[in-house]
Structure 1
Amino acid sequence: MQGAAPVVERVLPLVVRLERDAPPQRTAALEAAARAVLLMVSTGEPAWRVAVDAWEGARIRKVVRRARGAEWRRAAALEGLTVDHDGAQVRVFPPVPVDGWPRDLARLQVGGTELDDATAPPPPPVGAALVLMSPHVAMSAGKAMAQAGHAAQLGLRSLPPAAASGWREAGFPVAVRTATAARWSAALAAGAPLVRDAGFTEVAPGSATAVFARPATG
Structure 2
Amino acid sequence: MNNDSTPVTESPFRSEPGERDLAPQFVLPLVVRIERAAPPARTDALETAARAVLVLLADARASGEGEWAEAVRDWQDARIRKVVRRARGAEWRRAEALPGITVTGRDAEIRVFPPVPLDGWPRELAKLQVSGTDLDDPEPPAAADPAAPVLWMSPEVAMSAGKAMAQAGHGAQLAWWELSDAERAAWRDAGFPLSVRTAPPADWTRLTAGGLPVVRDAGFTEVAPDTCTVVADHPALR
Range of TM-score over shorter length:
over 0.9
Aligned residue-pair number: 212
Q: State TM-score, norm by structure 1.
A: 0.93
* Distance in 1 separating the partners of 2:86 and 2:157: 22
Give ranges in structure 2 of 5+ residues lacking alignment.
1-21
Shift of 1:7: 4.6
Give ranges in structure 1 of 5+ residues lacking alignment.
1-5
Match of 1:205 in 2: 225
Deviation per CA, 1:52-93: give whole Å up to 9, x if none: 122112110000000011101100111000111010011100
Mean alpha-carbon deviation: is it higher for 46-55 or for 112-121? 46-55
Mean alpha-carbon deviation: is it higher for 160-169 or for 16-25? 160-169
Mean alpha-carbon deviation: is it higher for 44-53 or for 148-157? 44-53
Match of 1:121 in 2: 141
1:20 counterpart (21, 36, 49): 36
Counterpart amino acid of 2:167? Q
2:182 counterpart (143, 153, 162): 162
* Distance in 2 separating the partners of 1:20 and 1:216: 40
* Distance in 1 separating the partners of 2:235 and 2:33: 28
Match of 2:201 in 1: 181
Q: State TM-score, norm by structure 2.
A: 0.85
1:135 maps onto 2:155 in alignment: yes
Match of 2:235 in 1: 215
For the residue of structure 1 that corresponds to 2:230, the secondary structure is: strand
* Distance in 1 separating the partners of 2:158 and 2:33: 22
Match of 1:3 in 2: none
Q: Once the two structures are aligned, what percentage of the paired residues are identical?
A: 60
8 Å CA contact retained: 1:167, 1:216: no
Structure 1 vs Structure 2 CA RMSD? 1.6
* Distance in 2 separating the partners of 1:38 and 1:125: 19
Mean alpha-carbon deviation: is it higher for 11-20 or for 159-168? 159-168
* Distance in 1 separating the partners of 2:70 and 2:59: 10
Equivalent residue runs for 1:44-55 within 5 Å: 44-45=60-61, 46-55=66-75
